[in-house]
Amino acid sequence: MNWQNLLTLPVYDLARNEKQSIFSPALLTLAKHHYQHSDDYRAIIDSVYPDFLQRGEVPALAVRLFKHHLLKSITEQEIFRITTSSGTTSQQVSQIVLDKENAMRQQKVLATIMKQWLGSKRLPMLIIDHPNVIKDKFSYSARGVGIQGMSLFGFDHTYALNEDMSINLDAVSQFFDKHKRKKILIFGFTFIIWQYFIQQLNELNIHFDVDEAVLLHSGGWKKLQDKAVSNKEFKSELNHVLSNTKIHNFYGMVEQTGTVYVECEAGYLHCPIWSDISIRKKSDLTEEKSGIEGIIQVNSLLPSSYPGHSLLTEDLGVLLGEDNCTCGRKGKYFQVNGRLAKAEVRGCSDTQS
């Protein structure tokens, strides 16, 4: 695949036919690459999906497979980094094998997508977490990895919480004072922002006058499902404590780092040009119609060092449309409703250690 060309594609501008004329052949080429280079992938295809690739179909692997097998399409010597979905020991973690090229591509694509939402300039950045979450270099959690990845888009990184998860009011006030009348970036995990930022500020009856901010959050509610609030309530409560803040949720996973799905102004998650989703029926995994909830399948052109290009997730979602979102972006747009009931509570970014 010619990544130099692929990387220059506009993120949200190609309509279905144009996108598919590039995406579908590229995904098939990628599947054949993994068939050739990964013994495990070849064994799975040969035994479960024989002749699929010859017919031009790319079957999705269950994302869970990455928790039990180290699937790779490179040699031991080429391994540059293995990323995991979580730092907890109590649950199985996904292991994703990266070579240099794949790791670099993930970062470039993430940067290209995020620039669509943040602009190309780095912004003063408030991180809704405590600084020790990234301190221990050798064992930091998925939360640390997420914060690390996003740090790239900011400067003057300021942590809003203390280690005991209480709010560091001095740091937060100083940050807002120092960057008055500037556009700022705020990042954190959904349940942490809710529980430790919004709620603490509400209890203290404090709100900050911000001139212009973009808040990105991700990760969902994890083990705090019982405390989950709707996206609408999250936004309205957040705007109660911070004025003039645009809020964008984004959906993504360690198994396909880079291709994130960011929530638009209308409240829907959008597929970037390098990845696509489909919704599968729970009963027989055939494709579900738009508007009806099913299991989310994610296809991405990024994974070259491990066969993670087509994955059946354990998340439930609804496809809402394609090319016709009111925000003007092309491509599929959807929403995520939660986790498959049978799935274990997933250990991604949910560790409070």
Partner 1 sequence: MTDQIRLKNVFSTALELPINEVDDELKYNADPRWDSTAHMILIAQLESEFDVMLDIDDIIDMSSFHQAKIILQKYNSDLSF
Which residues contact partner 1 by CB under 8 A? 80-81, 100, 104, 107-108, 111, 115, 120, 122, 134, 137, 140, 148-149, 151-153, 155, 157
Least distance (Å) between residue 153 CB and partner 1? 6
Least distance (Å) between residue 76 CB and partner 1? 17
Q: Note the helical H segments in 97-222.
A: 100-118, 142-151, 169-178, 190-192, 199-204
Least distance (Å) between residue 288 CB and partner 1? 37
Contact 81, 74 (CB under 8 A): no
Residue type, 32: K
CA distance 264 to 255: 23
> Which CB sits closer to partner 1, 154 or 317?
154
112 Cα distance to chain centroid: 14
Least distance (Å) between residue 105 CB and partner 1? 10
Least distance (Å) between residue 172 CB and partner 1? 20
CA distance 301 to 30: 7
Least distance (Å) between residue 51 CB and partner 1? 40
For helices 16-37 and 39-48, give the axis angle rounded to 10 degrees.
Answer: 110
Contact 242, 217 (CB under 8 A): no
Least distance (Å) between residue 81 CB and partner 1? 7
Least distance (Å) between residue 271 CB and partner 1? 22
Those residues whose C-beta lies under 8 Å from the C-beta of residue 219, and which sit 6 or more positions away, are 143, 146, 189, 190, 191, 192, 348, 349, 350
Residue 156: count other Cβ atoms within 10 Å of its Cβ.
13
> Which CB sits closer to partner 1, 44 or 125?
125
Those residues whose C-beta lies under 8 Å from the C-beta of residue 97, and which sit 6 or more positions away, are 70, 71, 72, 74, 79, 82, 305, 306
Q: Which of 350, 323, 336 is nearest to 297 (CA)?
A: 336
Least distance (Å) between residue 116 CB and partner 1? 12
Q: Which of 294, 276, 293 is nearest to 285 (CA)?
A: 294
> Which CB sits closer to partner 1, 124 or 219?
124
> Which CB sits closer to partner 1, 44 or 114?
114
> Which CB sits closer to partner 1, 152 or 327?
152
Q: Which of 197, 191, 146 is nearest to 171 (CA)?
A: 197
> Which CB sits closer to partner 1, 41 or 117?
117
Instruction: Indicate the helix (H) or strand (E) that contains 36.
Output: helix 16-37
> Which CB sits closer to partner 1, 115 or 289?
115
> Which CB sits closer to partner 1, 155 or 292?
155
> Which CB sits closer to partner 1, 135 or 240?
135
